[in-house]
């Protein structure tokens, strides 16, 4: 049998493949992507001769031949340069992303974007229909592929289909603004099981379905078109073992000490690690920090803020603006409060390897996670997993999925600047030993809900669907 004709009994499909292209001089190679989803699926995919992952390589143009990296069988789906603009930057990231994040920037509704979204979803569905063995299990991921469950169900009624949404599902009043709200709900209801990050998102989804289709929902089982679809909350975790191992690695610890010294060995390090995205509330924490310095409640003599902002979606509406705003604020704080040779905010608009991030988590006395809306936020969990001595304070927005689990974090409302300032000030004044009980509780939560457990729980429930 030719490799292209092989059928698989487990198919994962996501916008991106679990790999990224890394160049060394003139030669490029594929390496596994960092991140929760790849770690979560490694145990069920890597080295499994029956499992394949379909997705985009991240490089626009014709798809390449299937390949294998680190035990993951990868089946590329092509996305052209034009589709990148209309499907990925357009409908996925300038319509759905802002709408599903509480319309923090106005979502744009363009029929050409929708047409491209449908076309690309059809291509993903056709690819999977072709790859899946009779009765196979298919797990579809995220907001780029909302139509795939329905399209696939039509082509292959024999398949068991799961879908997981990594971002929030918005309140019904917001969702129903979408001109294609019915098509998308229909698409999703092709799945046997729909996983969401929180109970609130699962409730929002059921309410939207009910309003749009009139379908009967008992508990979270939706009856529609003669089929049942279950919805439920499956909060995603991290690869806790890997982060703990890195935190205990002498090389990472030495790097942490080196960074601390480079920063001027301050008494208090505040840290933010985010994709540079308007949902993350980076400007909110900078404003709070600036005001605390101006009011003399924090001092440049003993505090430093480090902000890592990973470049992201720079061509999409809203991202250039937030970058400008953040960088202006960094310049403003450093201009007004910095000392020669010693900035008070250290800002890197670069992505960092996980080893470097863990080194930073190790020296961060205060971790600032202040999104205005976030499906989960794995940085909050990574920070907790990097604190084996139970020190450190996690200042965490109530509007993240993580806040539903990490109840002993310093929960803040990022719209309430005075509340955020008080939490930051109190965290800076708290003796390290006092953070112990809260951190211990959070560490238990993070250890008990790892990325791997998340995948198991979802797949077990999917297998149990009638």
User: Given the rule CB under 6 A, which residues bind ligand F6P?
Assistant: 16, 35, 142, 166-167, 312-313, 375
Two structure tokens written together for 116: 């491209």
> How near is the Cβ of 204 to ligand F6P at its closest, in Å?
17
> How near is the Cβ of 33 to ligand F6P at its closest, in Å?
8
Q: Which is closer to ligand F6P, CB of 44 or CB of 221?
A: 44
Q: How far apart, in whole angstroms, are the C-alpha atoms of residue 442 and residue 381?
A: 8
Q: How far apart, in whole angstroms, are the C-alpha atoms of residue 221 and residue 170?
A: 19
What element of type H or E holds 195?
A: strand 193-196
Two structure tokens written together for 271: 């840290």
Q: Which is closer to ligand F6P, CB of 95 or CB of 268?
A: 95
| Cα dihedral 163, 167, 172, 175 sign | negative
On whether the CB atoms of residues 387 and 443 are closer than 8 A, the answer is: yes
On whether the CB atoms of residues 164 and 458 are closer than 8 A, the answer is: yes
> How near is the Cβ of 166 to ligand F6P at its closest, in Å?
4
Q: How far apart, in whole angstroms, are the C-alpha atoms of residue 73 and residue 75?
A: 7
Task: Indicate the SS3 state at residue 211.
Answer: helix
Q: Which is closer to ligand F6P, CB of 167 or CB of 362?
A: 167
> How near is the Cβ of 277 to ligand F6P at its closest, in Å?
8
On whether the CB atoms of residues 140 and 149 are closer than 8 A, the answer is: yes
Two structure tokens written together for 319: 């991202």
> How near is the Cβ of 436 to ligand F6P at its closest, in Å?
31
Q: Which is closer to ligand F6P, CB of 35 or CB of 338?
A: 35
Q: Which is closer to ligand F6P, CB of 312 or CB of 390?
A: 312
Q: How far apart, in whole angstroms, are the C-alpha atoms of residue 311 and residue 277?
A: 9
> How near is the Cβ of 375 to ligand F6P at its closest, in Å?
6
On whether the CB atoms of residues 79 and 56 are closer than 8 A, the answer is: yes
Burial tier of 141 (Cβ tally within 10 Å: 0-12, 13-18, 19+): buried
Backbone phi, psi, residue 332, to 5°: -65, -45
Q: Which is closer to ligand F6P, CB of 329 or CB of 378?
A: 378
Q: Which is closer to ligand F6P, CB of 236 or CB of 246?
A: 236
Q: How far is CA 208 from the centre of its chain?
A: 23
Q: How far is CA 241 from the centre of its chain?
A: 19
SS3 string, 272-304, reads EEEECCCCCCHHHHHHHHHHHHHCCCCCCCCEE
- DSSP character for 413? -
> How near is the Cβ of 312 to ligand F6P at its closest, in Å?
6
> How near is the Cβ of 258 to ligand F6P at its closest, in Å?
28
Backbone phi, psi, residue 80, to 5°: -80, 170
Q: Which is closer to ligand F6P, CB of 100 or CB of 383?
A: 100
Q: Which is closer to ligand F6P, CB of 165 or CB of 363?
A: 165
Residue with tokens 């403003």: 332
Q: Which is closer to ligand F6P, CB of 20 or CB of 430?
A: 20
For residue 438, CA distances in Å to 85, 172, 394 come to 45, 34, 9
> How near is the Cβ of 435 to ligand F6P at its closest, in Å?
28
Which residue number places its CB atom closest to ligand F6P?
A: 166
> How near is the Cβ of 16 to ligand F6P at its closest, in Å?
5
Q: Which is closer to ligand F6P, CB of 313 or CB of 373?
A: 313
> How near is the Cβ of 243 to ligand F6P at its closest, in Å?
16
User: Nearest to residue 309, comparing CAs of 360, 348, 269, 359?
Assistant: 348
């Amino acid at each position: 049998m030719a490799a292209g004709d092989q059928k698989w009994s487990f198919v994962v499909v996501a916008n991106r493949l679990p790999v990224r292209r890394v160049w060394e001089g003139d030669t490029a190679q594929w390496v596994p992507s960092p991140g929760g989803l790849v770690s979560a699926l490694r145990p069920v995919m890597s080295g499994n001769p029956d499992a394949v992952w379909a997705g985009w390589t991240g490089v626009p143009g014709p798809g390449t031949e299937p390949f294998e990296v680190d035990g993951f069988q990868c089946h590329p789906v092509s996305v052209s340069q034009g589709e990148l603009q209309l499907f990925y930057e357009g409908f996925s990231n300038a319509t759905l992303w802002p709408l599903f994040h509480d319309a923090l920037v106005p979502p744009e509704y363009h029929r050409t974007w929708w047409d491209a979204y449908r076309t690309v979803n059809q291509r993903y569905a056709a690819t999977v229909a072709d790859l899946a063995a009779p009765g196979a299990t298919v797990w579809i991921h995220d907001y780029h592929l909302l139509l795939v469950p329905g399209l696939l169900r039509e082509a292959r009624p024999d398949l068991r289909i799961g879908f997981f949404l990594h971002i929030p599902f918005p309140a019904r009043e917001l969702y129903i603004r979408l001109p294609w709200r019915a098509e998308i709900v229909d698409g999703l209801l092709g799945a046997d099981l729909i996983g969401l990050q929180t109970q609130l998102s699962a409730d929002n989804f059921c309410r939207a379905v009910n309003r749009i289709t009139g379908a009967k929902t008992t508990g979270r089982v939706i009856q529609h078109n003669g089929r049942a679809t279950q919805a439920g909350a499956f909060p995603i975790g991290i690869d806790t073992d890997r982060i703990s191992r890195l935190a205990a690695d002498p090389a990472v610890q030495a790097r942490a000490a080196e960074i601390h010294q480079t920063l001027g060995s301050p008494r208090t390090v505040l840290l933010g690690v985010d994709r540079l995205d308007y949902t993350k509330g980076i400007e909110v924490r900078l404003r709070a920090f600036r005001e605390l310095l101006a009011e003399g409640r924090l001092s440049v003599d003993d505090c430093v803020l480090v902000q890592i902002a990973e470049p992201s979606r720079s061509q999409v509406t809203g991202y250039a603006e937030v970058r400008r705003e953040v960088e202006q604020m960094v310049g403003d704080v450093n201009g007004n409060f910095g000392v020669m040779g010693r900035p008070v905010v250290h800002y890197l608009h670069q992505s960092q390897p996980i080893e470097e991030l863990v080194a930073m988590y190790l020296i961060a006395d205060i971790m600032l996670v202040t999104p205005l809306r976030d499906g989960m936020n794995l940085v909050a969990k990574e920070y907790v997993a990097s604190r084996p001595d139970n020190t450190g304070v996690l200042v965490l927005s109530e509007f993240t999925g993580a806040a539903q689990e990490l109840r002993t974090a310093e929960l803040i409302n990022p719209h309430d600047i005075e509340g955020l300032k008080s939490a930051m000030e109190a965290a800076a004044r708290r003796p390290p030993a006092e953070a112990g009980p809260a951190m211990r509780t959070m560490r238990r939560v993070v250890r008990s809900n790892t990325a791997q457990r998340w995948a198991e729980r979802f797949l077990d429930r999917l297998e149990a669907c009638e």
